[in-house]
Amino acid sequence: MLPSNQPLIIAGRVLCSRLILGTGKFSSPQAMRDALECSGAELVTVALRRADLSGRKDPFANILEFIDAKKYLLLPNTSGAMNAEEAVRLSHLAVAAGLPKWVKLEIHPDPRYLLPDPVETLKAAELLVKEGFTVLPYINADPVLARRLQDVGTAAVMPLGSPIGSNRGIQTRDQIHIIIEQATVPVVVDAGLGAPSHASEAMEMGADAVLVNTAIAVAHEPNRMALAFKLAVEAGRVAYESGLASSQPTASATSPLTAFLG
């Protein structure tokens, strides 16, 4: 029998896939839908934006028609919010739109690096948790902030590997190790994972899940890249659960070294 990975549980919800997918940047909603299928993801992010009042036609207008709400749990993000108040308003709008009372809390006022504002994020998290939201905050890889957030009742913490869309992998390795070590909620490495090996690395480190968007969406073949990330996440998780061998500076023979030629 093949060993199966432990499921991921976020706020009581059991998820068999530890790959969370973002839906942005795909060439078409159809391409997004197909890649979603190939990724095996069960948790999928969407965003909210001001509607275009000019009457122009938008090919992405009805994104929800391409995501089967019975199959995927939709996770609205608060991207675009510049502060806690805007993030809370966006969360209310998502609920009014019929989305689950889950929110990927992200507040990044700086457009160059899209680094999350820790003060506003903590403030918004407290408000939203009190209102009964399941809050998954996107944060810099700050162990102190991660702890503060789990203490106010967020359902996970989502530290970045490197800036959103940068594809630079895990540049925050030491901090993520500390966040994982002290976590009482799932740790989801979000942002900057540009290759399946980056996702595998996060999972081998003991992250509970990863969130990937750009690397899959802009791949030449998004479906196959989605599959590659799925396999990488599974491999990394199996490796973590199996117990990785420790590294050491010197060799350790794998074959007997007893002399046989005299």
Partner 1 sequence: MENMTVIANGREVQVGLPCSLEEFLVAQALRPRSVVVEHNGEAVAPSEFATRKVKAGDRLEIVKIVAGG
| Contact pick of 13, 72, 73, 95 for partner 1 (by CB under 8 A) | 95
**Of 145-153, 209-217, 225-233, 234-242, which part binds partner 1 (CB under 8 A)?**
209-217
CB of 245 to partner 1, least distance (A): 34
DSSP secondary structure string, 52-67?
PTT----TTTTGGGGS
Among 2, 12, 62, 252, binds partner 1 (CB under 8 A): 62
Range in contact with partner 1 (rule: CB under 8 A) among 21-29, 121-129, 144-152, 180-188: 21-29
Cα 209 to the center of its chain, rounded Å: 6
Confirm or reject binding of residue 46 to partner 1 (CB under 8 A): yes
Sign of CA dihedral 184, 73, 224, 32: negative
Residue of 213, 225, 228, 232 interacting with partner 1 (CB under 8 A): 213
**Distance of closest approach, residue 48 Cβ to partner 1, in angstroms:** 5
Pairwise CA distance, residues 66 & 55, whole Å: 22
96 makes contact with partner 1 (CB under 8 A): yes
> How buried is 219 (Cβ within 10 angstroms: 0-12 exposed, 13-18 middle, 19+ buried)?
middle
Binding mask 132-171 for partner 1 (x = CB under 8 A): --------------------------------x-------
Cα 94 from Cα 102, distance rounded (Å):
9
Q: Tally Cβ neighbours within 10 Å of residue 229.
A: 28
Active site residue 230: no
CB of 254 to partner 1, least distance (A): 43
| Residue 64 makes contact with partner 1 by CB under 8 A | yes
- For residue 71, what are the CA distances in angstroms to 15, 68, 74, 123, 213? 11, 5, 9, 32, 19
Q: In terms of DSSP bridges, do strands 13-15 and 8-10 run parallel, antiparallel, or are they unpaired? A: antiparallel
Measured in residues, the chain has a length of 262
Give the position of tokens 């799932």.
Answer: 186
Is residue 121 at the binding interface for partner 1, with CB under 8 A as the rule?
A: no
- State the minimum distance, in angstroms, from the CB of residue 224 to partner 1: 19
The single residue of 57, 70, 101, 104 carrying the catalytic annotation is 104
Q: What are phi and psi of 75, to 5 degrees?
A: -120, 95
Residues forming the site for partner 1 (CB under 8 A):
22-26, 29, 32, 45-51, 53, 55, 60-64, 76-77, 79, 89-90, 92-99, 164, 211, 213-214
Catalytic (active-site) positions: 104
